Structure 1
Amino acid sequence: MPRVTRVLLALTILVSAVEWAHAQALPIFDAHIHYSQSDWDALTPERALSVLARANVFRALVSSTPDDGTLKLYDRAPRGIVPFLRPYRTRGDMGTWQHDPAVAAYVEERIKRGIYRGIGEFHLSAGDVEAIVVKRFAKLAEDRNIFWQAHVDEVTVEKLLTLYPRVRILWAHAFPNLWVELAIRTDVAPNGTLDPDWRAVFVKYPDRFMVGTDTWVTSRWETLRETMQAIQDWLAQLPRDVAEQIAHKNGERLFPPP
């Protein structure tokens, strides 16, 4: 076979492989996106939405510091953005919000917009689960039938579930009103190979997981497409029906479009 023919054949095979891989890529519901003030200079709302689209993210759960960032995206793509209300007016609220009545008033006022599907992402320690603002947010979540997105350890989440059994929490798979998003879980597929223990859990509880990327700093936006490709790679190692649930169907079920 002439060399030129071999080269053309190799290119044809490569293009076909790329096209096949693209065709196999799953649509993604990203359950952990932030578009905070520190991102705004580097990323216009239009560019942020473009980054998501290029990564095959068709819907995203977004919370931001301050909340204006979430609204910037939601106003431009209301069917593609699932807005959560973060109780941080600035990053300074991260460690004090649970005891700050002004934060409670901020959330209670903004949530009247009627667009929010949850409160969070918030950080909380086990010693603060009965703080007055946490109790007020539990009442809001119950009354409005919305979620919490909690960045907490397992001790704290168990206390939250015990104290507030009617609140649905986006965190982990172990309880009937608890779901996990997998942002920055490097142990799921170390070196690109799906961990056998994680695989077993995914197959056993396919309705309890969602993917997430967590754009907590601007550099995470810049690498979002590569991060999402790594997620697509380990999703491809699961049975297709399980992968589809984790990739997007669970998000669609929990947060149907308005």
Structure 2
Amino acid sequence: MPSLIIFPLFLYFFLAPTTGHAQSERHYCYSDAHIHFVNFFQRSEGIQALLTAMDQACIDHVMLTGLPVTKKWDENEPKEPRYVFGDDAPTYWYSASDVIVAEAVKDLPPAHRQRIHPFISAFNPNDMNAVDHIERMIRLYPGLWEGIGEVMTRHDDLTALNLGNPVRADSGGLPRIYELAARLDMPVIIHSNVTSQREHEPLYVEEMTRALSAYPDTKFIWAHAGVSMAINRRMKLDFIVGLLDRLLNKHVHLYIDLSWSLLNHYLLDENGKPDSEWLELIEKYPDRFMLGSDAVGRFGNIGKALHAYNPFLDALNEATAHRVARDNFLALLPKQAVTLPYTGDKTKTLVDDGDDS
């Protein structure tokens, strides 16, 4: 792999104050429900670095995905960008990211392989044929994949930077993907900001609720509960707990990924004290929340990221805390290996262009 690039966007969490985070009244082992094997240049520290970090931090299981977009080094830029927002060059959809993940995982010894749970992510949700990519990956690597995503929809400045039309949680290519996910019992993790960086209202929530209502058998994991660090820099969404309560009550297959942008802005106050409304919400739905580091190509800090939740976990009922820390993510995974048969029908693999020659 080329030398690794460091991305400040994802360092906020790891550099945030950690007073009181080191000690816990209980012992936890974790599932990290949100890890990107590569960064926005499709580069990674590698699978051995990830396994080492897991062993050091009592992380039993990880969701592992690529990144569906990659950063362009534009010919007009004299220096390769070090950061996805380092210059004005765009990002673009990059399907090889799934192959990078699969090749890193497929030959691991069984003791390691059973701890890694790969998700397919490298497709354009606006493409009506995006489901073909997912089916192709499952056929190329039978029994390897266990979920879909992170599906990138509303995503702050990344939405504007990416080539092509903006993506919604109910974009045209996603219905067929949601149907396939339900049929194969594969959870879908989706990044869909609940609002823009300047509007203090759930501006985009209907895009998410339309998907939830139309595909009630699909297991949706909402990344960061629709909140992002870009939104956090401008405002705190005081409606988010009530909104999540209503949605979780109505949609039994909605789950919430509590990864990084929520911790120091919502779950814990500036003094590291757990928020009572969030505690009450999670106790009300103890099987519906999970933790994630949202690491991007580098893995040395994933333990620090998950251990930082300990003050919040300690304030939960102990059984709920262990569910959130480890078990809820595992409960969503397919109960059997995901495979698709080859039909032998060439129309599944060849496009009829009308040329019989």
TM > 0.5 fold call: yes
| Preserved contact between residue 148 and residue 170 of structure 1 (Cα < 8 Å) | yes
**Counterpart position of 2:118:** 83
The equivalent of 1:63 in structure 2 is: 65
Aligned to 1:188: 267
Structure 1 outlier segments of 4+, above 6 Å: none
Separation in 2 of the partners of 1:213 and 1:108? 28
- DSSP 3-state at the match of 1:99: coil
Cα shift at 1:44: 2.4
Q: Deviations over 1:211-247 (max 9, x none)?
A: 11111353xx332222122112321222211111111
* 1:158 maps onto 2:185 in alignment: no
Aligned residue identity for 1:222: G
**Aligned in 2, Cα 1:157/1:129: closer, same or farther, shift over 3 Å?**
closer
Partner of 1:148: 188
Counterpart amino acid of 1:228? L
Cα root mean square deviation, aligned: 2.7
The match for 2:125 among 90, 93, 98 is 98
CA contact (8 A) 2:290 2:328 kept: yes
Equivalence map 1:117-156=2 (5 Å): 117-125=146-154, 128-152=168-192, 153=194, 154-156=205-207
- Cα deviation per residue 1:192-211 (whole Å; 9 max; x = unaligned)? 22111111111111111111
Letter in 2 for 1:24: R
Q: Report the counterpart of residue 202 of structure 1 in structure 2.
A: 282
Given that 1:74 and 1:83 are in contact with CA atoms closer than 8 Å, whether structure 2 keeps it comes out as no
Partner deviation per Cα, 1:76-134 (whole Å, 9 max, x = no partner): 2221011111134xxxxxxxx12235644322200222332221111225974554421
Secondary structure at the residue paired with 1:233?
A: helix
- The 2-side partners of 1:193 and 1:75 are apart by 44
Residue matched to 1:12:
none
141-150 vs 176-185, which deviates more? 141-150
2:292 alignment partner, SS class: coil
Unmatched 5+ stretches in structure 2: 1-22, 68-96, 155-165, 195-204, 226-243, 337-357
Quick check: 1:99–1:131 contact (8 Å CA) kept in 2?
Answer: yes
Report which of the two has the higher share of helix: 1
Identity percentage over the alignment? Answer: 23
2:311 paired residue number: 233
Q: Does 1:170 align with 2:249?
A: no
8 Å Cα contact 2:186-2:334 kept in structure 1:
no
* CA shift in 2, pair 1:132/1:244, >3 Å: same
Q: Quote the Cα distance in structure 2 between the aligned partners of 1:40 and 1:123.
A: 16
Corresponding residue for 1:49?
51
CA contact (8 A) 1:120 1:148 kept: yes
Which residue of 92, 97, 107 maps to 2:134? Answer: 107
Gaps of at least 5 residues in structure 1 are 1-20, 89-96
Partner residue of 2:354?
A: none
Cα distance in 2 for partners of 1:197, 1:178 equals 19
Matched residues in 1 for 2:43 and 2:66: separation?
Answer: 15
Shift of 1:38: 5.4
SS in structure 2 of the partner of residue 67 of structure 1: helix
For residue 316 of structure 2, what is the amino acid of its counterpart? L
TM-score by length of 1: 0.78
Q: Is the 8 A contact 2:181 2:188 kept in 1?
A: yes
User: How does the TM-score come out when normalised to structure 2?
Assistant: 0.57
Aligned counterpart, 1:249: 327
Instruction: Identify if the C-alpha distance between structure 1 residues 132 and 202 changes in structure 2 by more than 3 Å, giving closer, same or farther.
Output: closer
